[in-house]
Structure 1
Amino acid sequence: MSERIPRIMQLLPDWAEPWLEVIELGLQITLIAFGAWVLNVLFRRLIRRLGASYSLPAELMMGARRVIGLVIYAGATLLILDRFGVSGTVLWTAFTGFAAVAAVAFFAAWSVLSNIFCTLLIFTTRPFRLHDHVELLESGDKLGLKGQVVDINLIYTTLREEADGQVLQVPNNLFFQRVVRRFRSAPSRTGVSPDTAASADGR
């Protein structure tokens, strides 16, 4: 490598020789920034394809794009600072401090993150869909929350009760903690579906 530098200096004009180190640093920074941009574009396309394949909500895809972009550009910034001669110890100390703060924030917002993750599971595993009639059983056959699914967002699933039309906002992680009963059609107030009642009358 040391033999190549004098050869490169012979190819450069006289005025560029004092600026060789600056030019090399500029090329390294440009390559790092370009690589970060390419990675960000590739991950955005991957998230877009996953969202189209699994019908993920736009809010979830937007959040994923922002988090990935933040991680990629933060890593590129650390690499650029390293090229400027910033001590690796300083960078490691800053990274560990940021990781500690992020871990505290993660545990503080665990319930919110749990609901967001359960939203992803609802859209991928499909235990129920929009406009389905569902019931969350308390224990055994004991009646619990019941209604029609009218909305699913990152935190709550909104159920409209059949009796009085009131709406219930149920945390998404609750659907993975209890037994969920799914009806093919709207259940009656007595808890028996119309299809079951019609077959009983026919007897």
Structure 2
Amino acid sequence: MAVLRQLLPVEWIEPLWLGLQILLILVAAFFLQRVVARCLSRLAQRYPLPPELIMPLRGGLRWLIMGSALIVVLERLGVSATVLWTALSGFVAVAAVAFFAMWSVLSNLLCAVLIFTVGPFRLGDVVELVDTIDKPGVKGRVIAINLLFTTLVELPETGGALVQVPNSQFFQKSVRRWRGADALPLVGEDTPKGN
């Protein structure tokens, strides 16, 4: 600091020091975000986690780290912590209202995470949502699972149409499941071996 005072005018030292602090905060946040992304990639390689789960998690953590860095930078620039917390609490209140407004979508997202992690069924399985014991529900082979819907191809006797079932339905109703090779054949498929 003493060397800087000899080389630069006094009024330049404070802004340069503040700029250096801000730069260090942003560089630290960038490297922290990279380390977290690398750890998530390693976690996804070690455990069979689908990209549909890892990508939003990585993006959310990136926003959290960079948002925290922005708050620290604003505090270094002299913005009051009270003002920051007031703004943040207002944002959280609005987000809570939006959360309740989008409850059905968010429940499907949570159920998708549970389907990916718990694995009650997989691609290629035949599943049936049972309304009641004596009344059959939707039945078909699972061909796709995304964050909102599970796509089934109906069995030939019911028309073979594509049906998109909200993921939350698999946790609200009873589900019958036939695993991959043991599953019933669809239109154009050969019967499973051993039958």
TM-score, normalized by length of structure 2? Answer: 0.84
- Find runs of 4+ consecutive structure 1 residues off by over 6 angstroms: none
User: Which amino acid in the other structure matches residue 168 of structure 2?
Assistant: N
Going from structure 1 to structure 2, the CA distance change for 1:101 and 1:31 (only over 3 Å counts) comes to: same
Residue 58 of structure 1 corresponds to which residue in structure 2? Answer: 51
Partners of 1:139 and 1:43 lie apart in 2 by: 46
Residue 175 of structure 1 corresponds to which residue in structure 2? Answer: 170
User: Which amino acid in the other structure matches residue 152 of structure 1?
Assistant: I
| TM-fit CA distance, 1:74 | 1.2
User: Which amino acid in the other structure matches residue 178 of structure 2?
Assistant: F
Contact 1:54–1:124, Cα closer than 8 Å, also in 2: no
Partners of 2:8 and 2:25 lie apart in 1 by: 23
Give the gaps of 5 or more residues in structure 2. none
Residue 131 of structure 1 corresponds to which residue in structure 2? Answer: 124
User: Which amino acid in the other structure matches residue 12 of structure 1?
Assistant: L
| TM-fit CA distance, 1:107 | 1.4
User: Which amino acid in the other structure matches residue 6 of structure 2?
Assistant: D
User: Which amino acid in the other structure matches residue 15 of structure 2?
Assistant: V
Q: Does 2:5 correspond to 1:16?
A: no
| TM-fit CA distance, 1:188 | 7.9
Partners of 1:173 and 1:54 lie apart in 2 by: 24
Going from structure 1 to structure 2, the CA distance change for 1:110 and 1:132 (only over 3 Å counts) comes to: same
TM-score, normalized by length of structure 1? Answer: 0.81
Q: How do 1:90-101 and structure 2 match up within 5 A?
A: 90-101=83-94
Q: Does 2:183 correspond to 1:186?
A: yes
Q: Does 2:25 correspond to 1:28?
A: no
Residue 166 of structure 1 corresponds to which residue in structure 2? Answer: 161
Give the paired residue count: 184
Contact 2:5–2:13, Cα closer than 8 Å, also in 1: no
| TM-fit CA distance, 1:54 | 4.2
- Percent of aligned positions with the same letter in both sequences? 49
Contact 2:129–2:139, Cα closer than 8 Å, also in 1: yes
Going from structure 1 to structure 2, the CA distance change for 1:47 and 1:110 (only over 3 Å counts) comes to: farther
Give the gaps of 5 or more residues in structure 1. 1-7, 199-203
| TM-fit CA distance, 1:45 | 1.8
Partners of 2:78 and 2:183 lie apart in 1 by: 67
Partners of 1:95 and 1:188 lie apart in 2 by: 54
| Rg comparison, structure with higher value | 1
Going from structure 1 to structure 2, the CA distance change for 1:58 and 1:98 (only over 3 Å counts) comes to: same
Partners of 2:169 and 2:77 lie apart in 1 by: 50
**Larger deviation, residues 179-188 vs 38-47:** 179-188
Q: Does 2:37 correspond to 1:44?
A: yes
Contact 1:56–1:120, Cα closer than 8 Å, also in 2: no
Identify the match of residue 142 of structure 2 among 145, 149, 157: 149
**Larger deviation, residues 168-177 vs 33-42:** 33-42
Partners of 2:7 and 2:177 lie apart in 1 by: 78
Partners of 1:52 and 1:171 lie apart in 2 by: 28
Partners of 1:83 and 1:56 lie apart in 2 by: 39
